[in-house]
Structure 1
Amino acid sequence: MTRPRLIVTRRWPAEVERALAERFDVSFNDDDHPFTPPEMQQALASCDALLTTVSDRIDASVLRTAPRAKLLANYGVGYSHIDLDAAKACGITVTNTPDVLTDCTADLAITLMLMTARRAGEGEREVRSGSWTGWRPTHMIGTSVTGKTLGLIGMGRIAKAVAMRAQHGFGMKIVFFNRSRLAPEQLAGLDARQCDSVEEVLAQADFVSLHCPGGAATHHLINGERLATMRREAFLINTARGEVIDEQALIDALHNGTIAGAGLDVFEAEPRVSEALLTMENVVLLPHLGSATRETRVGMGMRVLDNVTAYFDGRTPPDKVA
């Protein structure tokens, strides 16, 4: 029998690529370049399944050519880069990789919180530049994390993992807003207070960590008006999606001292980062590393393999989202 043809849009861990090649007819992106829209259309027209990543924009314009591919198997939990309605109209199934990256993304959110509070990025730059002159009592004083209030926007798996680390590791108080109200049993192991609005969280928190999905419903959820409700000593952490924050409004808030700082792993126009952010010392900038551990990236790939295998075996993929 002819094996289903797959195209993988970016390079994946070697063991995942080997496992895919053992079961399917696979084409890999040898030089790991981002596909252009015409390349994406060509791939969709020549394969049975396209294995995508968060950096691939699959919108109605890309899908308008009635693609051959009937499966978009996404390497990642978020899928706001895929137009689900357009995919459905083309008879395309979409899958993702939930659960696998919960802990490592939570770890990174805590990393950003600590780095911003303790000015770690700024300090490392000083040491590397050779400009550090030695210890002194007033040098690069940061903010304590222990015992402070952490506000979470969204309370899914990753946010709960962040809350557990913050509460049990640093004795932090937890407040949160979730678009659907959670029952007490959904917060097992956490002493967390549920707020009625985003603004209520922002007004109380010393650190605000974003854990909401991307898409039209959350585009610029954090805008100038909401940033103005934050405490001047507060820090904003984003490991969710770049478009959740109005980046220009954030730049203005950081420049004006409306908030103390930010830790960002995602950006509104990735991979482009605003020049203004690049020059600010009160911002920690990371290149979308939320899931970037070997264990997690391999686990994500194997989850994609499970979804693709199920689809071509005639079963419902375990992580079908559309």
Structure 2
Amino acid sequence: MARSKKPVVIVTRRLPDIIETRMMELFDARLNVDDHPMSRADLIEAVQQADVLVPTVTDRIDAELIAQAGPNLGLIANFGTGVDNIDLKAAHERGITVTNTPGVLTEDTADMTMALVLAVARRITEGERLARSGDWGGWSPTNMLGQRLWGKRLGIIGMGRIGQALAQRARGFGLAIHYHNRTRVPEEIEDELEAVYWESLDQMLSRMDIISVNCPHTPATYHLLNARRLALLQPHAVLVNTSRGEVVDETALADHLENGEIAGAGLDVYEHEPEINPRLRALDNAVLLPHIGSATIEGRVAMGEKVIINAKTFVDGHAPPDRVLETMF
């Protein structure tokens, strides 16, 4: 008896073992065993062969690539919440469905955002380097002074799932919650978080002690925090970005940090990943992480489970639950 033909699912990067094993059971899964980033040629071959492509946020699935897709490619099941790596318009014009993995990374990213707020305000990584250097001369009243969080104002740019989860954590540290969002959140959420809404981003920026970027990268948010807006921040202000690097003008940020025009920055994402601006790497008042905001075992497995559900639902002839529409981003 001939074996039943399973849909070809090509995965661009290594995923947790439990996810890859389930994919092998359900699909004709082509895995990236050595976890090398796929070259452009690799991606072209993948879209020509696959029924379902499972890229990650670092794979550029642009209009040129989509134009070379084979006739069987029906679904791009992105392993990630953001879809700025995919040309949604080009995909939809080719009749290719796009899905993502929303909601599963909320708590992990909010944890990391709060960790960066603490690390910058209390100079934690700078202190850790001093302790390891052998140059620490012991405690003194004025050594390594940072900023107290209690009683400060936190301005959140993007009050979605992650922004709200951050606000819940920040309240426990005595921070007053302020936010700017494309649309105002429901009154009950504002009441629960005791959050103050600012329609004007400029006005909010000039009054906050801490700014956290939690909005997606879209054409409208590219360099949302440009040189003009960064100049609105107070000299003692702290900026944290765990969203997308493109939202912040890194050159302008480096200028402000070098000149002491803001106190510090905590970054988990960068404008030209994996490259990091060397000026930022040289600064003690910049805490830099290698895009690990969502890097928990639980989070990665949950992402993979969503990819599997989206792919299985699609190949069974139904609308996948996490379909991304062009108008959503």
Which bracket does the TM-score occupy, shorter chain normalised? over 0.9
Q: Within 2, Cα distance between the matches of 1:121 and 1:278?
A: 13
Q: Does 2:210 match 1:207?
A: yes
Contact 1:152/1:201 (8 A) holds in 2: no
Alignment of 1:1-322 (within 5 A): 1-67=4-70, 68-167=72-171, 169-322=172-325
Letter in 1 for 2:113: A
TM-score by length of 1: 0.98
Runs of 4+ deviating beyond 3 Å: none
* Contiguous gaps of at least 5 residues in structure 1: none
Contact 2:9/2:30 (8 A) holds in 1: yes
Q: Within 2, Cα distance between the matches of 1:90 and 1:253?
A: 44
Contact 2:16/2:300 (8 A) holds in 1: yes
Give me the CA root mean square deviation: 1.0
TM-score by length of 2: 0.96
* Contiguous gaps of at least 5 residues in structure 2: none
Deviations 1:128-158 (A, max 9, x none): 2222221111111111111110000110000
Deviations 1:235-277 (A, max 9, x none): 1000000000011011111111121110000000000001111
Letter in 2 for 1:157: R
Letter in 1 for 2:94: C
Letter in 2 for 1:153: I
Following TM superposition, by how much is the alpha carbon of 1:183 offset from its aligned partner in structure 2, in angstroms? 2.9
SS at match of 1:217: coil
Identity %: 50
Following TM superposition, by how much is the alpha carbon of 1:84 offset from its aligned partner in structure 2, in angstroms? 0.2
Q: Within 2, Cα distance between the matches of 1:306 and 1:292?
A: 21
- Number of residue pairs aligned between Structure 1 and Structure 2: 321
